[in-house]
Structure 1
Amino acid sequence: MKKFGRSKGFAVSALVAAMSVAGLANAGVTDKDIMNDAATVDDVVTNGMGLQGQRYSSLDKVNVDTVKDLRPVWAFSFGGEKQRGQESQPMVKDGVMYVTASYSRVFAIDTKTGEELWEYNARLPDGIMPCCDVINRGVALYDDLVIFGTLDAKLVALDAKSGKVVWKKTVEDYQAGYSITAAPIIVKGKVITGVSGGEFGIVGKVEAYDAKTGDIVWTRPTVEGHMGYMWKNGKKVENGISGGAAGKTWPGDLWKSGGAATWLGGTYDAETDLMFFGTGNPAPWNSHLRPGDNLFSSSRVAIDPDTGKIAWHFQTTPHDGWDYDGVNELVSFDLNEGGKTIKAAATADRNGFMYVLNRENGSFIRGFPFVDKITWAKGLDPKTGRPIYDDSNRPGNPADSKDGKKGQTVVAAPSFLGGKNWMPIAYSKDTELFYVPSNEWQMDIWNEPTAYKKGAAYLGAGFTIHPTNDEYIGVLRAMDPKTGKEVWSYKNYAPLWGGAMTTAGNLVFIGTPEGYLKGFNAKTGEQVYQFNTGSGIVGSPITWEQDGEQYISVVSGWGGAVPLWGGEVAKRVKHLNQGGAVWTFKLPK
């Protein structure tokens, strides 16, 4: 694909001729557009194809019978040397696609031709500290703005027509280890963002900004003991929103550098008027330094979008000692069970268990394994969902060793990269199944002494990851939230690291590190489609309708955390090629 007006640094290129392209004169994205995204088919204006994050489309022109004829119609290259992992979900509005790429870049693309309309390149400083590759997972759209987070922990709002900066805000200090990799979400005219950086002893938080002006509205730290605040007329409200007593579930002053990063972003449910964010690992990894539950780390928190108040929380791994986080997306759905419809939500955790919760109050409905091997816990308490620990599989305390330098090594499954990591699940209202990209791997893990230092890695642990099986690591699973049973599965040699999408055409789509976009029968798991994009897929596919035709797009570009942190697994996939492109498909006329 020919590239137009490529610029270096932060400069934006825009073609005067492109101003006439359909879509650049659109009326902008409204709150109604965002709220109705899951029910409309002519655009994709939210991360998750709907604020609830179900990643389901009612389109069915591409279905199990026709998908064999699906063909690529254009491919757009991000170009340059800035490849690495491409984990973005594209957005589409009025004939224009907005997609992010590695190193905090944004592109606007004509959806009919694949031609570039404009490009924005963030000017990143030296010394950024992304933990897990230089990825970005997408933009938020509001009015005539394209809003995204950068690796130096800024929010940037661009003009949708030209790509020029409208406002820019510093969310946190990148030199302390903060960054932003997730796509923000828009709720009631506010842009909501989390932060990354849990491996550097930062304090996780969720913040809301006025989407049009960039003015801060509220901040909600996710480590117990830190206060939340609102702003009115540009001034901080004196009575902050309580974050719990300092040190209540943390020893000493460790809550001051407690981690719990909100690095994956959130979902929103209009019926309960609550946002759901996951929180990451407590810092440091060495759990013997911080006895207690360490709230609100490794949890799902329900947040009032108007004030930032935490309405409820559910902690999946209290006193986390394996870096299992709790950051994975919480997807709202209606659970039809026992003649009743329950306002439920489900999440597949890095710790290997899937949880079904009441999204109104966070109460535990059920939990069940979705991977084959779990060693750190014997199961879940059937009433509370709290894990029943196997204490012999917690990494040992270095203080108990002869030299005090290394605790006892244990073999823990899943590995810290998780039974499921960031890659989003999908839910079909047709099959009433969740489609879960999962991985079968384990790790040798041990604890070491450590101390907090601003901007330095704050782990206190060492590890090596190993595949559990020789034949496969990745498994796409269809899980029944009513029974906790696996309905079908597809095994993949390399780890799965990209998101799933499902449609009314009885299809599930997912990409693989080997480069394939694959389609499966949503009911049976039969593979009915594949196309190789030339580089590993670690992004999330989308679909929309334009001029009466159904389009499917996915970002291709191998990278992310696996080649950086994967140990023996990284050796298995070291031959995979990097890349950076958007591939778009449709049926022939």
Structure 2
Amino acid sequence: MGMMKRTLLAGVSVLGMAFAGAAMAAGVTDADLLADGVNAKQVVTNGLGLAAHRYSPLTQINTSTVKNLVPAWSFSFGGEKQRGQQGQAVVHDGVIYITGSYSRLFAIDAKTGEKIWEYDARLPEGIMPCCDVVNRGAALFGDKVYFTTLDAQIYALEAKTGKVVWHKAIDDFKAGYSNTAAPLIVPTKANGTLIVTGVSGGEFGVVGRVEARNVDTGELVWSRPTLEGLTGTYQGKETTMTGKANETWSGDMYKTGGGATWLGGTYDPDTKMVFFGTGNPAPWNSWLRPGDNKWTSSRLAINPENGELVWGFQTTPHDGWDYDGVNEFIPFEMTKDGKTVKAGATADRNGFFYVLDRTNGKFISAMPFVSKITWAKGIDASGRPIYDEAMRPGDPTKSEDGKKGKEVFAVPSFLGGKNQMPMAYSDQSKLFYVPSNEWGMDIHNEPVVYKKGAAYLGAGFNIKPIFDDHIGSLKAIDPVAQKVVWEYKNKAPLWAGVLTTAGGLVFTGNPEGYLLAFDAKNGEVLWKFNVGTGIVAPPISWEQDGEQLVGVAAGWGGAVPLWGGEVAKTFKGINQGGSYWVFKLAPKSATK
């Protein structure tokens, strides 16, 4: 995706005052992190568990009672900063921690919706976020709450007060680096509990990497570059090279080659590996960088003990369409032909849904989850795409003027079959619920030269719908049978994450402003509520004082209105906003 073509005003740091009697975090432990998927009284990880199934074991709100769901309270993020709100909240000891646009973090009383404190990062002028001023969530550990900022910093705050304990620079924002993802907290044997982050900024020729820091001090423990030819570090010393130098990159193109890890990662306590996706290679013009360009547009498994690369799987080798491979890799147990496989699944920007052996990255299966894919004819037995070379944007040096290569219509668009909005896996139905979009793009290549801090694309594009009645499509996918079980079509693109529950429900939001609840088995809409602005964030659910609650951030924005081309024109009237909504069952309705 591209650069936001505007300079953003610097933010202002404001610390709110804690009010008397508010519940405060007593401290999150390794055991809390590891139990997050089954402990319904907390949400202390991004994804309702380190594996990010986004599955709640709660059943009070179910297919029978969901019709009685009503708002409990709504909290306004305030100010004039009404931009895309993509954060997933975390909840501990009666306090909700939610990030807002422009790198803000709020602590809210979960019972009343009253603000406990607010922290606004002081953003410098000249930050360069490509795809709106979003933040996707915070992390909790011990007595601290952590989040990253648009100027590529990471902060640790006191959970009780919001005061800064430590903060570190991830990288130089003037070179195009930023950060938007929720950090990942991982327990290790060698170095205790670590906070693991990636980097954003792939459209500026930055180099992707994953790195881990000490949760108490912020000191760097290890770093793993995503591009071959670059060397990792551990405890301040160089370790191994990622891949083999110049095996799939020519010359020194890899030094500005992209591969940003901008969506964050997942962790599998079973195999004890961290999984991160990597973004597009830079520049977009693939004629300038022959070869597979590893490990861009890939999924990587990393040993969190030392940052060593365990395996990689490239979904789009020699990517020429901006099909980032950053989408979440979700570990799950798959029973097939009477055998249980330690699998992992990912719905890629390129339009294909993949299942891999998570122990070694070996390909198991793939299927298209969006319609009319043009760039590839399918996926071969090794998991490699079968390219339709006529659908690769043409080499501009072969054109008459040398400035614009042959234009093609590629499906999906560069915003992907799925983008930042996380899917969910139901431990009950054994289905994945994937928020997807049906669209394509006119795309051509142009000459481009790397310049620090400037957009590094070499492409022009315009996104267009491929169906008259819908763009968004929520799909229930059976990973064993490799088929779509049901589909819900939405007029506008879907950009919100998904939650599924043991009550047989699936929740997501849409740009039209609705939070919707579906029957997980057949996709029937059982309930919906309009929050007054588009929803582009993942819902969560937890138990508070014996009641099941559902929470979601609301606020239209993100990449779609910025880069949606012709598609964006069709829903330009959606109101922006910034708020957090919590829902519960109406009194005396929980058992009816």
Code of the residue aligned with 2:30 in structure 1: it is D
In structure 1, the residue matched to 2:291 is 292
Rounded Cα–Cα distance in structure 2 between residues aligned with 1:27 and 1:509: 30
The yes-or-no answer on 1:305 pairing with 2:304 is yes
Secondary structure (helix, strand or coil) at the match of 1:37 reads coil
TM-score of the superposition, structure 2-length normalised?
0.96
- Aligned match of 1:538: 536
What SS does the corresponding residue of 1:498 show, helix, strand or coil?
A: coil
- Summarize deviations over 1:46-88 as a string: whole Å, max 9, x none: 0000000100011010000000000001000001011110000
Q: Percent identity of the aligned residues?
A: 63
Q: Which residue of structure 1 lines up, in the alignment, with residue 364 of structure 2?
A: 365
Query: Which sections of structure 2, spanning at least 5 residues, go unmatched?
Result: 1-10, 188-192, 588-592
Matches within 5 A, 1:51-62: 51-62=50-61
- Any residues of structure 2 matched to 1:493-572 within 5 Å, and which? 493-572=491-570
Deviation at 1:19, TM superposition (A): 4.3
Q: TM-score, length-normalised on structure 1?
A: 0.96
Amino acid in structure 2 at the alignment position of 1:458: Y
Map of 2:7 onto structure 1 = none
- CA–CA distance in structure 1, aligned partners of residues 499 and 226 of structure 2: 30
* Amino acid across the alignment from 1:31: D
The residue matched to 2:371 in structure 1 has which SS?
coil
3-state SS of paired residue (1:114)? coil
Correspondence 1:315 to 2:314: yes
Conserved in 2, the CA contact under 8 Å of 1:246 and 1:255?
no
Q: Give 1:160-179 correspondences, 5 Å limit.
A: 160-179=159-178
Deviation string, structure 1 residues 161-204 (Cα, Å, up to 9, x no partner): 00000000000000000000000010011000001000000000
Mapped to 2, the partners of 1:517 and 1:21 lie a distance apart of 28
- Size of the alignment, in residue pairs? 572
Q: Per the alignment, in what secondary structure is the counterpart of residue 471 of structure 1? A: coil
Q: Spell out, residue by residue over 1:446-497, the C-alpha distance to the aligned partner (whole angstroms, 9 max, x if none).
A: 0000010000000000000001111110000000001111100000000000
What does residue 158 of structure 2 align with?
159
Give the 3-state SS of the residue equivalent to 1:228 in structure 2: strand
TM alignment of 1:216-235, pairs within 5 A: 216-231=220-235
Q: Deviations over 1:519-569 (max 9, x none)?
A: 000001110010000000000000000111000000000000000000001
Displaced runs of 4+ in structure 1, greater than 4 A? none
Distance across 1 between alignment mates of 2:22 and 2:498:
31
Give distance in 1, aligned partners of 2:352 and 2:491: 22
Opposite residue 578 of structure 1, the aligned amino acid is Q
The 1-side partners of 2:313 and 2:343 are apart by: 13
> Is 1:10 paired with 2:13?
yes
TM superposition shift of 1:243: 1.4
Contact 1:513–1:538, Cα closer than 8 Å, also in 2: yes
Offset at residue 244 of structure 1 (A):
2.4
Q: Give the partner amino acid of 2:230.
A: H
The residue type equivalent to 1:20 in the other structure is G
1:138 and 2:133 equivalent?
Answer: no
Which AA in structure 1 matches 2:340?
A: T
**Aligned match of 2:413:** 415
Q: Which residue identity does 1:515 align to in structure 2? A: G
Question: In the TM superposition, what whole-angstrom CA distance separates every residue of 1:69-119 from its partner, at most 9, and x where no partner exists?
Answer: 000010000010111100000000000000000000000000000000000
Query: For residues 60-459 of structure 1, what are the structure 2 equivalents within 5 Å?
Result: 60-188=59-187, 189-231=193-235, 236-237=236-237, 239-382=238-381, 384-459=382-457
* Secondary structure, counterpart of 1:329 in structure 2: coil
Q: Secondary structure at the match of 2:562?
A: helix
- For the aligned residues, what is the CA RMSD? 0.8
How far is the alpha carbon of 1:245 from its aligned partner?
Answer: 2.7
Gap regions ≥5 residues in structure 1: 1-7
- Distance of 1:244 and 1:427 partners within structure 2: 32
Equivalent position amino acid for 1:212 in 2: D
Contact 1:552-1:584 within 8 A present in 2 as well: yes
1:319 shift after superposition: 0.1
Q: Deviations over 1:210-260 (max 9, x none)?
A: 0111111011110111110011xxxx22x4222123222111110000100
